[in-house]
Structure formats: structure tokens, C-alpha cells
Chains A and B, each alone.
Chain A
Amino acid sequence: MTLYFLNFVLLIIGLYALVVKRHIVKKILGVAIMEYAVNLFLILLGFRKSGIAPILTEDMDLRTFIHTAVDPLPQALVLTSIVIGLGTLALMVAMAIRLYERYGTFDMDEIKRLRG
């Protein structure tokens, strides 16, 4: 239960960086921290105490495996989510580089003031 709460604190730190900071790359780092927190929450939901990974090996009995395996469904959701987070990070970095070339600064307040 405290693990869920600590994970939520991580999410709030990321949200704080996204909203309050002015430098664009700091905002991108805030989004990355929020993605870590969300993926970790999904995996924490599926954890079983003294459980084993959901991969069958040759010397394992199927019945005991079903009763001690960790939930495989959240892991399936998170696996694609991590790689897509990388794709959107690439898109954000491309936008940040482009904004720098256009306005000469990374500061969002300056960019909001200079138009065109």
C-alpha cells in the first residue's frame, strides 16, 4: 500500500516538472518521469507475493505454476507502452530541436512572447 503511494509521489514529481518549469527539456524529462510512474503502477497491480515470473521452464509442474505465477496481463500492456513512450520521446525531442532553431531559445516564456 505504501508502494502505491510512493509511486504516486513519483507521478506528482513528473507532473510538477511538466507544469512549473520553463525549460522545454525539463518538461520532456517530466513527461518521461510520468511514463515511468504509470508503467510501474501497472506492474505493481499484478504482483503476487513470493510469485515467479510467468515463463514456464522444463522442470516445472503446470498446476503449481498456475498458483504461483505473477499476473501476465499487465506485463503485456506495459511491454508495448514502454516502446511507444520511446517513440513519443523522439517526437518531442524533434519538436524541441525545431523550436530552438526557430526561436533561438529553449525558454517557453520567451517563445510565448515572441510570435512568428
Chain B
Amino acid sequence: MYEEKQSGMTFIVKTITNLMIGFMLVFGAYVVLYGHITPGGGFPGGVMIALAYILVTLAYGRKVVESMVSGVTGSIADDVGALVILILGFIGLIIGGTFLFNFLPKGTPFSLFSAGYIIIYNLAIMLKVGMSLYIVFLALAILQRVVTTREENKGDKK
């Protein structure tokens, strides 16, 4: 028996996914990191990163993408993002007297490491938003398999 079960979509879709996913991840990282100079920031960048992984889920099936970033890893990354914001807030409280005080040096405008902790804050927002949307999509994709299983069971019992 030489046939193996094809999961996911057709060969064309898989080839295009292979080509596109690198660009999507790099562009998402660019939008997040340069969020204080060009339009963008943590929120659109996080959604772009989630979309890259969702593309792999749609094209290859759930098992392949879980070997890349599993549901547990996504959940932990999500929590790390939220904790980084809390830690930044408390360090700001200790140094400056107000919660979320901007304590890193301002730097020169138009360079990457300017504007205090905004770049760290953007990365934390990217982890939070991107991983949240990714794991919700994984949960909805799992549900599809359960739906078809339940309908087949009903057919067998009748």
C-alpha cells in the first residue's frame, strides 16, 4: 500500500505557503520593531505573525503546525507577553515614581533604539496579540475534527 493520506490542501497551496511564510514573518517583525518610526506597532504586527501561522494551519493541517509552535508554547508565550508589561510597569514605579514610567534613555530621533522602552512594550504586545489569536484558531480547528467525528458516529448508530 503506497498511498499515504494527504492532509491539508493541494500541492499548489503548499508551494505558495512555503514561499510566502518567510516574507510574512519578516514583514511582521519589521512592522513591530520599527513601530515608533513608521506606521504600525505591536497590534498589526502581532496579527500578521498570527496570520503566518494560521496560513500554515490551513495549508498543511493541524499536526504540522503543532510541531512548529504547539498550543502549549503559544499559551506560554502569551503569558510571557503580559508579564513583561507588568514587570516594565513595576520597574517604572520603582525608578520614576509612577506606574509604567518610561525609564530607558530617549536617544536620537529616527534611530531604532530611541524612545525609551517602547520597543520592548511593542514586542510584548506582539507576543500577546499574536499568540492569543493563534491559539484561538487552533481551538476552532480542533473543533472541526470533533464535528465530523460526531456526525459519523450518528450515522453508524443508525
Among A53, A79, A90, A97, contact of B133 (Cβ-Cβ < 8 Å): A90
* Known interface pairs A90-B133, A101-B147; A55-B47 also in contact (CB < 8 Å): no
Of the candidates B43, B139, B140, B147, which one forms a contact with A80 in the assembled complex, judged by CB atoms under 8 Å apart? B43
A9, CB-defined interface residue at 8 Å: no
In this complex, how many residues of chain A approach chain B with their Cβ under 8 Å: the count is: 15
The chain A residue sitting closest to B110, CB to CB, is A58
Q: How far is the CB of B115 from chain A (nearest CB, A)?
A: 12
Pick the most buried of A53, A56, A83, A101: most chain B CB atoms within 10 A of its CB.
Answer: A83
What residue of chain B has the Cβ atom nearest to residue A75's Cβ? B39
Answer whether residue A116 sits at the interface, using C-beta atoms and an 8 A cutoff: no
Would you list 27 pairs from A and B whose C-beta atoms are within 8 A, ordered by A residue? A53-B39, A55-B38, A55-B39, A56-B109, A58-B110, A79-B41, A79-B43, A80-B43, A83-B43, A83-B46, A83-B47, A83-B129, A86-B47, A86-B133, A87-B132, A87-B133, A90-B133, A90-B136, A90-B140, A93-B140, A94-B136, A94-B139, A94-B140, A97-B140, A97-B143, A101-B147, A101-B150
Chain A residues within 8 Å of B, Cβ to Cβ: 53, 55-56, 58, 79-80, 82-83, 86-87, 90, 93-94, 97, 101
Knowing that A90-B136, A94-B136 are A-B contacts, what are 19 other residue pairs whose CB atoms are under 8 Å apart, sorted by A's residue number? A53-B39, A56-B109, A82-B43, A83-B43, A83-B46, A83-B47, A86-B47, A86-B133, A87-B132, A87-B133, A90-B133, A90-B140, A93-B140, A94-B139, A94-B140, A97-B140, A97-B143, A101-B147, A101-B150
